[in-house]
Amino acid sequence: MTQINFIQIVTMWNKINELSRENLSQQQIALILGIHRDTVRRYQMMSETEFNDHLRRESTRHSCKLDPYRDFIVEQLNAAPFLSAAQIHDHLMEHFPDLPQMTERTVYNTVKRIREEEGIEKVSTPRRQYAHIPECDWGEQAQVDFGEQWMKTSKGRQVKVYFMAMEDDKACYKFVYFQNVPFTAKTTVYAHHLAFQYFGGMPRKVIYDQDRKMLSSENFGDYMMTEEFASYVASAGFEPVFCMAADPQSKGRIERTVRFIKENFLRGRTYVNIISLNEEALGWLERTGNRKKHSVRQIIPAEVFKEERKHLLPYTVRVEEPEPEAREYTVRKDNTLMYRSNTYSLPIGTYGGPGSKVLVVKNVDLNELEIYDPKDFSLITRHQISPLKGMHITKEGHATGRSRELLESEKHLRTFFGQWAEDSVLSTLLVAIKNDRPRYYPKTVLAMDHIFTRMDKGVAEKVLRDCLQHKVYNANRMSEAADNAQDVAGRIPVRTVPPSLPSGLNQEDITPPRRSMSDYDDIIDGGTK
């Protein structure tokens, strides 16, 4: 026990006795001191001898297993006062693999004591009540529900994540899959695919709410599923069961699981990116979600599911991860588009008349809008998403009529030279041109694309280096330099390099002697005689 706790107990004892002499009730004393009424009653019933014995016991008590981790617990509680003792336990296991074994009661008591000593009150939220549902047979059914939650990045930016949770009814075995965009029919199918792979099979029935991602019409009980989901159900072979609206008795367990994911896993967690979040979720399932004893049924889901897996239907369907879905947006006459009460600029020429469209993909991890041409899905531009409303967000170059051609020309040049780095010769020359004559930069780059990409690459690289060295930023002078370099390259004779001689030999040693023409005449005449 620390010295400060010893002083706090003595101070509390003295204040309780002082207020008791003023004939205040136990409830009044508890309110004044900010403690529980039972604590007031316990101290009032102690004699001075009993209180001294109490102090002696407290001062000589054994140290707690969690004492070495006190600073970490305090840091967690200060950052997120709403964390429960179970969440603190999970965070300790996540950050300290060598954490000693201890009971949940030990963690609860330690966290409670630290809250009292540090004055950190727990922030509570009202909870919904759910009805109990009857037990089902082995391999009979699972339940599915969706949730969403706001998270904070390390820089304090708010990001909303969406998730689908599936829970096996018999074993309470759980799976969760996160996205940073709302679920669609395609991504719902993919989440089912991952869940059944995680389970190692599928139940005979899956229970759902009446959700538009899966249902196109209720049709008075003759449910009409969306085309994407109906095709998947037919190929997989399980039976979907849709609840009546506002009927928690039909799938109360998955409602509780969604709350468990929000409160035990998501609350107080920092968002990095969606891939990391799904990896962290799998670790949480193995460590806590499926390993911790169920509070109601008093079973360990991971242990019971070993038997449940034997009764699941085989799952052999192959599903590819869907590409990020792009939404169509109308291009306005002023070459802008409207996105969440803000206008974002597009290059001049994007608007091609009434009905012009672009495809927009929201990149949540980078907080960007990626805008594509619907004809060939080529990238038009990117914009940082503004958190404000009523703003016009523009980008350099969008006001010029040839901005899209400029982007293409820069890409052609970099591809031709293979120079994408910021410190490359091409990048350095382009920056110098933009700084020296910004008004003529687009025309110069378009001309460079025409000049260099039609030349031999080796000659073009030499001209590029010469232009940078001699500060040639005019397109006409670049063209003249390119023509001269090609003429010089064409006039250079082809030289044959003599082979190198072995050590110790001279050219005279391997050069045959010359004969006169009379020697050859004698040989020929002699041969004919």
- Counted domains in the chain: 4
The answer as to whether 300 is a domain residue is yes
Complete DSSP assignment for 87-125: HHHHHHHHH-TTPPP--HHHHHHHHHHHHHHHT-PPP--
The answer as to whether 384 is a domain residue is yes
pLDDT band at 529 (very low <50, low <70, confident <90, very high): very low
Q: Give yes or no: residues 230 and 334 share one domain.
A: no
Complete DSSP assignment for 144-177: EEEEEEEEEETTS-EEEEEEEEEEETTT--EEEE
Domain boundary among 118, 149, 170: 118
Q: Give yes or no: residues 331 and 299 share one domain.
A: no
Examine the pLDDT at 496 and tell me if it is beyond 80: no
Examine the pLDDT at 325 and tell me if it is beyond 80: no
The answer as to whether 496 is a domain residue is no
Residue tagged 């004591």 (tokens): 113
Examine the pLDDT at 460 and tell me if it is beyond 80: yes
> What CATH number is attached to the domain comprising 157?
3.30.420.10
Q: Give yes or no: residues 203 and 253 share one domain.
A: yes
DSSP state of 203: -
Query: Which residue has better confidence, 233 or 1?
Result: 233
Tokens representing 398?
């969008």
The answer as to whether 389 is a domain residue is yes
> What CATH number is attached to the domain comprising 332?
2.40.50
Mean pLDDT (whole number) for 501-526: 56
Is residue 512 classed as helix, strand or coil in its secondary structure?
A: coil
Tokens representing 94?
């996540």
What does the pLDDT read at residue 46? 85
The answer as to whether 517 is a domain residue is no
What does the pLDDT read at residue 455? 87
Domain boundary among 86, 118, 150: 118
pLDDT band at 495 (very low <50, low <70, confident <90, very high): very low
Q: Give yes or no: residues 100 and 184 share one domain.
A: no
Rg for the chain, CA atoms, rounded: 39
pLDDT tens, residue by residue, 225-263: 888 899 999 999 999 988 865 555 556 678 889 999 999
Examine the pLDDT at 494 and tell me if it is beyond 50: no
Mean pLDDT (whole number) for 365-378: 83
Examine the pLDDT at 368 and tell me if it is beyond 50: yes
Q: Give yes or no: residues 242 and 260 share one domain.
A: yes
Q: Give yes or no: residues 296 and 180 share one domain.
A: yes
The answer as to whether 524 is a domain residue is no
What range does the domain containing 307 cover?
Answer: 141-311
What does the pLDDT read at residue 149? 93
What does the pLDDT read at residue 251? 61
What does the pLDDT read at residue 134? 64
What does the pLDDT read at residue 507? 52
CA proximity to 191, closest of 212, 173, 218, 214: 214
Cβ atoms within 10 Å of 478's Cβ, excluding its own:
22
What does the pLDDT read at residue 394? 86
pLDDT tens, residue by residue, 131-144: 555 677 898 999 99
Examine the pLDDT at 327 and tell me if it is beyond 90: no
The answer as to whether 233 is a domain residue is yes
pLDDT tens, residue by residue, 96-133: 988 888 888 889 988 988 888 888 888 765 555 545 55
pLDDT tens, residue by residue, 273-320: 889 999 999 999 999 999 988 877 788 999 999 999 999 999 999 998
Q: How far apart are the first and last CA of the chain?
A: 131
Query: HEC states along 140-152?
Result: CEEEEEEEEEEEE
The answer as to whether 125 is a domain residue is no
Q: Give yes or no: residues 268 and 351 share one domain.
A: no
pLDDT band at 189 (very low <50, low <70, confident <90, very high): very high
Residue tagged 């969690």 (tokens): 66
Mean pLDDT (whole number) for 87-102: 90
Examine the pLDDT at 454 and tell me if it is beyond 50: yes
Q: Average model confidence (pLDDT) for the chain?
A: 82
Query: Which residue has better confidence, 407 or 197?
Result: 197
Q: Give yes or no: residues 95 and 235 share one domain.
A: no
Q: Give yes or no: residues 305 and 158 share one domain.
A: yes
Q: Give yes or no: residues 185 and 283 share one domain.
A: yes
- Show Cβ contacts of residue 205 under 8 Å, excluding neighbours closer than 6 positions: 140, 141, 142, 238, 239, 240, 241
Percent of the chain with pLDDT over 90: 24
Q: Give yes or no: residues 114 and 8 share one domain.
A: yes
Examine the pLDDT at 56 and tell me if it is beyond 80: no
pLDDT band at 497 (very low <50, low <70, confident <90, very high): very low
Query: Which residue has better confidence, 217 or 340?
Result: 340
- Show Cβ contacts of residue 141 under 8 Å, excluding neighbours closer than 6 positions: 169, 203, 204, 205, 206, 207, 241
Examine the pLDDT at 332 and tell me if it is beyond 80: yes
Q: Give yes or no: residues 186 and 107 share one domain.
A: no
Residue 159's φ and ψ, nearest 5 degrees, are -130, 130
Examine the pLDDT at 347 and tell me if it is beyond 90: no
